[in-house]
Amino acid sequence: MAKQKNSWKKGRGKLGLLSPLLGSWIAEATSPMGKLTCTRFLEPILGGNYIQLSVIWSFEKFAYQEHAIIGINEDKIPFWSFTSDGKKSQGAISDGTDIHPEAICFEAQMPAGIARMIYWPNPDGGFNWAVESKTKKGWNRFTMHHYQKNNQI
């Protein structure tokens, strides 16, 4: 994939901080289940009052999907996520500046404890994305991808 110029510019309004993530993004990685291609698509919906996230994790033998809605609730920015294995989660935006000063971070209380998903600009273009779980000693990262603009759409 060709390098893309990093354009991490926030937009207007309370959901404007998600502007750098809007569009279609793709990452390729290896996982314990084999080669993985992950596509993320974020778009404003319902008059721009919400952001819809659609994710497809494509493995060699199956695909896993997630759909999430990010919105405004009073002064908070919550999300509601639903996955193809029947699981669901909800949480809200939180502080991810320990990763990067411009990080966009969401935390959720999961059955196994607190987890967070972080997006931050990559100097080679696009963004990094990671998932971490909270431990007594801090955060434990178990997944990280580098996403580039998906020009195949």
Structural domains for the chain: 14-149 (2.40.128.20)
- Judge whether residue 150 has pLDDT over 90: yes
Across 62-73, b (16+ Cβ under 10 Å) vs e yields eeeebebbbbee
pLDDT digits (tens, 9 = 90+) for 79-104: 999 999 999 999 999 999 999 999 99
pLDDT digits (tens, 9 = 90+) for 9-50: 888 888 999 999 999 999 998 888 889 999 999 999 999 999
pTM above 0.75, yes or no: yes
pLDDT at 153 (0 to 100): 58
57, 68, 80, 143 from 133: Cα distances, Å: 20, 19, 18, 10
Residue 73 is given by DSSP the state B
Residues near 12 by Cβ (< 8 Å), separated by ≥ 6? none
